[in-house]
């Protein structure tokens, strides 16, 4: 007991947004201290043993550019752990980096997770954080954390609707009195939008492009709703027929055509959620609107598309990319007051 309290004195408690695309870390009383890609470069020897070479930005530079015995891995897929061992190593790296590589520090950790994951997947997240050095692990659902981070009054008896579009999942939820009234977790997010761009270019131009190129296209000229002024950009890839590298020009209207299907899936999830909630909460949402968080909120005209399909006010949260980790950080600072919204297992 004494040892636990002593460790507690020297630990900097953390809130973690363990995302498919990026991992963000908030330290109590300091704010967000780390925002790096959820990528790990691993060397695999002849016996199959793994050695971590790089984590975060350094590892992302290696995606698609490594020799056979080195793999740049994204250990999170669709918001859940795809490679337990690599996630543990990634968390351990981030925790030690934040604490200046001191190995004795064992912080309390709050981790934001998708609302739709299974008990087994939740346990995997908890166990990976404990193995990485956490003294105590709390789990909070991403839409709840995003709503807190966006400043929504979730403790009041009123409907608050949040749509958190991340790399691996889209979380749609209506929250009232600190609880989720109805939520839909969709394994569609930034990654599926990137995949749609890759497949479109492959089919239309017989050109193979990588994930990083697709992400650049999405961020540079991507739009999810028709625009008056067409944007264009050149992209490089490998011709499927000749095998020779080549450059093509792609337009914003082509990107729109490519990503229509994942966009429609997000719209359907929002409509389903609106249909399932009580009328009293519906009337609240008519007044307060739908709040967008996550990296997908920054996709051009996402708010316009949702507004057209729902006829409701749509507001993009301040700094939507960090909403989840800021909300988890606020929960960390008020852990006793907000314990009711944590997940037990």
Terminus-to-terminus CA distance in the chain, angstroms? 23
According to DSSP, residue 254 is labeled: H
Task: Say yes or no to pLDDT of 9 above 50.
Answer: no
Q: Which of the two residues, 239 and 105, has the higher pLDDT score?
A: 239
Exposed, middle or buried: residue 337 (CB in 10 Å: 0-12, 13-18, 19+)?
exposed
What is residue 197's three-state secondary structure?
helix
Burial 6-28 (b: 16+ CB within 10 A, else e): eeeeebbbbbbbbbbbbbbbbbb
> Which CATH number applies to 190-258?
3.90.640.10
Give 343's pLDDT tier (boundaries 50, 70, 90).
low
pLDDT at position 100, please?
67
pLDDT in the model for residue 204: 96
pLDDT digits (tens, 9 = 90+) for 210-242: 988 999 999 999 999 998 889 999 999 999 999
Q: Which pLDDT value is given to residue 284? A: 94
pLDDT at 63: 78
More confident residue, 92 or 276: 276
What per-residue confidence (pLDDT) applies to 87? Answer: 87
Instruction: Give yes or no for a contact between 315 and 291, defined as CB atoms under 8 angstroms apart.
Output: yes
Average pLDDT of the chain? 88
Q: Which CATH superfamily hosts domain 1-38+77-150+318-345?
A: ATPase, nucleotide binding domain (3.30.420.40)
Q: What is the pLDDT of residue 336?
A: 65
Q: What is the pLDDT of residues 149-179, one digit of tens each?
A: 999 998 899 999 999 999 999 999 999 988 8
Q: Cβ distance 237 to 208 under 8 Å?
A: yes
Mean pLDDT value across residues 55-68: 83
Read off the pLDDT band of 338 (50, 70, 90). low
Q: What are phi and psi of 108, to 5 degrees?
A: -80, 140
**Most distant CA pair in the chain: distance in Å?**
69
> Under CATH, domain 151-188+261-317 is a member of which superfamily?
ATPase, nucleotide binding domain (3.30.420.40)
Question: Could you state, in order of their start, the residue ranges of all structural domains in the chain?
Answer: 1-38+77-150+318-345, 39-73, 151-188+261-317, 190-258
Same fold, 1-38+77-150+318-345 and 151-188+261-317: yes
């Amino acid at each position: 007991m004494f040892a636990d309290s002593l460790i507690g004195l020297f630990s900097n408690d953390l809130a973690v947004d363990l995302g498919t695309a990026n991992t963000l870390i908030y330290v109590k009383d300091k704010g967000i201290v780390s925002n790096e890609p959820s990528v790990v470069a691993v060397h695999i020897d002849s016996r199959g043993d793994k050695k971590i070479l790089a984590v975060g930005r350094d590892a992302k530079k290696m995606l698609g550019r490594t020799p056979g015995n080195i793999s740049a891995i994204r250990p999170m897929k669709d918001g859940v752990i795809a490679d337990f061992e690599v996630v543990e190593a990634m968390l351990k790296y981030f925790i030690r980096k934040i604490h200046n590589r001191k190995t004795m520090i064992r912080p309390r950790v709050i981790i934001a997770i998708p609302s739709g994951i299974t008990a087994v997947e939740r346990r995997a997240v908890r166990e990976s954080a404990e193995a990485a050095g956490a003294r105590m692990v709390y789990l909070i659902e991403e839409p709840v954390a995003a709503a807190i981070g966006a400043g929504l009054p979730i403790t009041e008896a009123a409907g608050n609707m949040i749509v958190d579009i991340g790399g691996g999942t889209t979380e749609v939820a209506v929250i009232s009195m600190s609880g989720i009234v109805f939520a839909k977790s969709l394994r569609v997010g930034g990654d599926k939008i990137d995949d749609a761009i890759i497949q479109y270019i492959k089919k239309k131009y017989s050109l193979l492009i990588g994930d990083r190129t697709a992400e650049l296209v999405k961020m540079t000229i991507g739009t999810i709703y028709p625009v008056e002024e067409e944007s264009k950009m050149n992209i490089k890839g490998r011709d499927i027929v000749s095998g020779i590298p080549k450059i093509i020009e792609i337009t914003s209207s082509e990107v729109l055509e490519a990503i229509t299907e994942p966009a429609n899936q997000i719209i359907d999830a929002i409509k389903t959620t609106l249909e399932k909630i009580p009328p009293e909460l519906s009337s609240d949402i008519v007044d307060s609107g739908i709040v967008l968080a996550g990296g997908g909120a920054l996709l051009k005209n996402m708010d316009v598309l949702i507004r057209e399909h729902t006829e409701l006010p749509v507001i993009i949260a301040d700094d939507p990319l960090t909403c989840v980790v800021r909300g988890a950080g606020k929960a960390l600072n008020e852990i006793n007051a907000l314990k009711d919204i944590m997940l037990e297992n």
